[in-house]
């Protein structure tokens, strides 16, 4: 579970807007949506939407969406002009039926009020469900709680989630007293080694079921009462994956659960709350690392609604808990997911993702069958994960995860910035990370994860960008696909990633043929790597401590020959000390290797002598200067709370510091720094995550 623990150690940054959209209408539209939804700058978004309509009249899909979204933005501001934009879409863009339908729905709602005043129109956005914020987790995972699946008790008085003070534990948050009580007592690096995930309440509020995972990727379903008395219900088979509880039955007899097999696929089934037996219902087509909110049990326990299909085409299905084949509930060209059954059993709500945004839909049900067509309940459900439906409303999480790439001009002699950091001129923004310069300085590469995982390569001279889809990328957690590195001769590029079963592989793209290769590594969970000193070898890291086998041949740093498959150890830390590795990177002459050790120590290993040196603590990313005489790192300054760039001489002395805090908002985290071959620029990625929990009341009034 080292890759999951790593989530606790990486966070978070500011939202950004990328300029330089040029004459690309889709880029313009993305920029406008970014201003509206992420930055909340409605006036700026309106201006951009109007520019699109004026400058790109022949691009009908883009113009129709710009008109519709302009209506939304104006409606949010309480402007009657919103109706004009909706009417324009309805009357003039019948070739865009999905947008016409959305515009008609909005217009109908506005016309319910006869001759609405500006004040009445301003209140339109409050019609329908009312929203209450239950909990704001903030931007720091280590300081926050309730990160995963913050389930609301059926009576609506408490939430359960995960807290991180002494370990990774099930906790209860009292909505009245605002106090948190940790229920389980697992401690970091203390037996039993492991942590808890995906907690869910029993209907009577007396017990909580959750997944327990040890650090060797073994999973089991556990139940605790509120006094912390734990019982194990079910252990997954060796070499199988996660076992994720979703929902208790009302009578408390069974738990709707996702059980992963050794191939990575999940089966939906019912686990007996008494003896832990598993009754399989349906083997799904998905095998993602984290699964939340994709199945729901009817109140009478007779039916299960679930989302299934390929990653880009998820549909809703219903099946009888006594067995039989699933029947299609809703088929839509885009994804439909997160179904929830209403407490009275009369409706199912779900999220429908369209190119116009994420929408909350409902469909009436009778005896496990739909009555009529699905109807729209609420728009603006982007980044929402529906958790459960308590007696007083729907509990859902909103998560914002913004990842962008910046460049920073430097004085090549001193390593000190000469300008402010600049966002990379590339759209879409918010989904890009792990940037790295080619060794010859001609290209900049990074990973993008908006619609699919891909490597993007940008020519520095402004030539045509190249996109390479990463094979099987739906099987790994996206931020494990880090440490993008070029081959020494620039003929290829690659990275390491953790798969859906916790297994680690190295992927390499040959830029001449456009083909991918991969090598499975004999290491547990997370790793890091770099290519070199020749194109037929790479260095990778294995973790070691009192938890894993300290005598394992995979612990420490190893160099693997891709032609022969042979691997040999090049660095072995003290086997009695807990350790891990981050951010491996060679010096330009491949005689030294820098890395982050034990999550915070900046170290350099001399590959000729075998000697290692610690440069300092509280660092998380580093890069050698082009001549190899300096080492630049991101870290925290001593005796201050500032974060920024520290430049070391090769003997470990600090020679320069630059505070990045004045250029970015509080909470910004910086990753993947790389120094260009001419010494004049840095490139790095930033990340900002925000987690909030809400209650949606009066859903079907």
pLDDT at 105 over 70: yes
N- to C-terminal Cα separation, the chain: 44
What letter does residue 449 receive in the DSSP assignment? -
pLDDT category at 636 given cuts 50, 70, 90 is confident
Please report, for the chain, the start and end positions of each structural domain, with discontinuous segments joined by +: 2-126, 130-287, 293-391, 401-691
- The whole-chain average pLDDT of the chain stands at 84
Determine the Cα–Cα distance for residues 468 and 160; give it in Å rounded to an integer. Answer: 41
Q: What is the largest CA-CA distance in the chain?
A: 83
What letter does residue 153 receive in the DSSP assignment? P
What is the reported pLDDT for 662? Answer: 82
**The two three-digit tokens of residue 127, written as one number:** 């019609």
What is the reported pLDDT for 474? Answer: 57
Predicted TM-score (pTM) of this structure: 0.74
Q: Which of 42, 91, 109, 93 is nearest to 69 (CA)?
A: 42
**542, β-bridge pairs:** 556
What is the reported pLDDT for 284? Answer: 92
pLDDT at 598 over 50: yes
pLDDT category at 184 given cuts 50, 70, 90 is very high
What is the reported pLDDT for 118? Answer: 47
What is the reported pLDDT for 381? Answer: 87
Overall CATH class of domain 401-691? mainly beta
Domain 293-391 sits in CATH 2.120.10.30: yes
Determine the Cα–Cα distance for residues 66 and 616; give it in Å rounded to an integer. Answer: 51
Considering the chain, what percentage of its residues have pLDDT values greater than 90?
A: 45
What is the reported pLDDT for 125? Answer: 36
**457, β-bridge pairs:** 445, 466
pLDDT category at 640 given cuts 50, 70, 90 is low
- The residues, ordered by sequence, that sit 6+ positions from 115 with a Cβ below 8 Å of its Cβ are none
Q: Is the dihedral of CA 308, 314, 319, 325 positive or negative?
A: negative
Domain 2-126 sits in CATH 1.25.40: yes
Orientation angle between helical segments 97-111 and 82-92, nearest 10 degrees: 140
Tell me what the mean pLDDT of segment 472-476 comes to.
Answer: 64
What is the reported pLDDT for 524? Answer: 66
pLDDT at 576 over 80: no
Quick: pLDDT tens for 506-541.
999 999 999 999 898 887 667 889 998 888 999 998
pLDDT at 149 over 80: no
Quick: pLDDT tens for 404-417.
999 999 988 888 88
Quick: pLDDT tens for 308-349.
987 677 899 999 999 899 999 987 777 888 999 999 999 999
What letter does residue 237 receive in the DSSP assignment? P
**The two three-digit tokens of residue 40, written as one number:** 């909340």
Which CATH code for domain 130-287? 2.120.10.30
User: H-type helices in 463-558, by residue range?
Assistant: none
- DSSP E strand stretches across 290-431: 295-297, 303-310, 313-320, 327-330, 336-341, 347-354, 357-366, 369-378, 384-390, 393-409, 422-423
What is the reported pLDDT for 592? Answer: 96
Determine the Cα–Cα distance for residues 474 and 391; give it in Å rounded to an integer. Answer: 35
User: Radius of gyration (Cα) for the chain, nearest Å?
Assistant: 26
> Would you call 354 exposed, middle or buried from its count of C-beta atoms within 10 A (0-12, 13-18, 19+)?
middle
> Helix, strand, or coil here: 589?
coil
Query: Strand 681-697 vs strand 669-675: parallel, antiparallel, or unpaired?
Result: antiparallel
pLDDT category at 11 given cuts 50, 70, 90 is very low
Please check whether the two domains, 2-126 and 130-287, share a CATH topology: no
What is the reported pLDDT for 665? Answer: 78
Tell me what the mean pLDDT of segment 302-312 comes to.
Answer: 88
Determine the Cα–Cα distance for residues 363 and 377; give it in Å rounded to an integer. Answer: 10
């Amino acid at each position: 579970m080292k890759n999951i623990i790593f989530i606790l150690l990486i966070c978070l940054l500011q939202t950004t807007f990328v300029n330089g959209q040029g004459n690309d209408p889709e880029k313009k539209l993305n920029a406008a949506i970014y201003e509206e939804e992420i930055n909340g700058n409605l006036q700026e978004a309106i201006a951009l939407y109007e520019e699109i309509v004026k400058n790109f009249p022949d691009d009908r899909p883009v113009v129709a969406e710009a008109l519709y979204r302009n209506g939304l933005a104006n409606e949010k501001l309480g402007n009657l002009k919103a109706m004009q934009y909706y009417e324009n879409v309805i009357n003039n863009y019948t070739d865009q039926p999905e947008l016409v339908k959305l515009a008609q729905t909005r217009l109908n709602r506005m016309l319910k009020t006869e001759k609405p005043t500006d004040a009445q129109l301003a209140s339109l956005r409050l019609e329908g469900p009312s929203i209450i914020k239950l909990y704001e987790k903030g931007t720091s995972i280590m300081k926050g709680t309730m990160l995963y699946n913050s389930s609301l008790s059926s009576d609506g008085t408490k939430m359960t989630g995960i807290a991180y003070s002494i370990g990774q534990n099930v906790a209860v948050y009292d909505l009245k007293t605002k106090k948190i009580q940790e229920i389980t007592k697992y401690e970091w690096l203390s037996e039993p080694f492991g942590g808890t995930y995906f907690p869910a309440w029993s209907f009577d509020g007396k017990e909580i079921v959750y997944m327990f995972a040890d650090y060797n990727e073994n999973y089991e379903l556990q139940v605790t009462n509120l006094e912390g008395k734990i019982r194990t219900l079910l252990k997954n088979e060796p070499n199988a994956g996660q076992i994720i509880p979703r929902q208790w039955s009302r009578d408390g007899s069974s738990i709707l659960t996702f059980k992963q097999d050794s191939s990575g696929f999940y089966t939906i089934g019912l686990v007996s709350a008494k003896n832990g037996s598993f009754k399989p219902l349906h083997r799904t087509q998905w095998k993602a690392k984290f699964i939340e909110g994709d199945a729901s049990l009817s109140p009478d326990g007779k039916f299960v609604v679930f989302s299934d299909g390929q990653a880009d085409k998820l549909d809703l299905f219903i099946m009888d808990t006594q067995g039989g084949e699933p029947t299609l509930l809703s088929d839509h060209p885009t994804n439909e997911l997160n179904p929830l059954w209403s407490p009275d059993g009369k409706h199912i709500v779900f999220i429908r993702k369209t190119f116009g945004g994420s929408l909350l839909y409902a469909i009436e049900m009778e005896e496990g069958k739909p009555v009529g067509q699905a109807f729209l309940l609420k728009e603006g459900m982007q980044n929402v994960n529906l958790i459960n439906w308590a007696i007083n409303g729907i509990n859902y999480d909103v998560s914002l995860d913004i990842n962008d790439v910046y460049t920073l001009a430097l004085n090549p002699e001193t390593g000190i910035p000469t300008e402010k950091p600049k966002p990379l001129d590339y759209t879409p923004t918010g989904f890009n990370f792990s940037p790295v310069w080619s060794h010859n300085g001609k290209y900049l590469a990074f990973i993008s994860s908006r619609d699919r995982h891909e490597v993007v390569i940008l020519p520095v001279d402004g030539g045509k960008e190249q996109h390479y889809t990463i094979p099987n990328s739906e099987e790994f957690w996206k931020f494990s696909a880090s440490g993008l590195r070029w081959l020494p001769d620039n003929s290829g590029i690659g990275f390491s990633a953790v798969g859906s079963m916790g297994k680690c592989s190295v992927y390499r793209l040959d830029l001449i043929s456009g083909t991918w290769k991969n090598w499975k590594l004999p290491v547990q969970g997370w790793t890091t790597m770099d290519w070199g000193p020749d194109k037929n070898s790479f260095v990778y890291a294995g973790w070691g401590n009192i938890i894993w086998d300290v005598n394992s041949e995979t612990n420490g740093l190893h160099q693997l020959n891709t032609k022969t498959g042979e691997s040999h150890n090049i660095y072995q830390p003290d086997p009695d000390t807990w350790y891990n590795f981050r951010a491996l990177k060679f010096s330009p002459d491949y005689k030294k290797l820098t890395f982050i050790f034990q999550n915070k120590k900046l170290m350099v290993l001399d590959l000729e002598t075998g000697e290692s040196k610690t440069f300092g603590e509280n660092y998380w990313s580093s890069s050698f200067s082009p001549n190899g005489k300096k080492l630049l790192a991101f870290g925290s300054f001593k005796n201050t709370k500032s974060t920024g760039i520290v430049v070391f001489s090769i003997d470990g002395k600090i020679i320069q510091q630059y505070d990045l805090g004045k250029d970015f908002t509080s909470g910004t985290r910086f990753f993947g720094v790389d120094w260009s071959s001419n010494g004049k620029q840095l490139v790095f990625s930033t990340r900002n995550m925000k987690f909030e929990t809400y209650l949606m009341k009066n859903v079907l009034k």
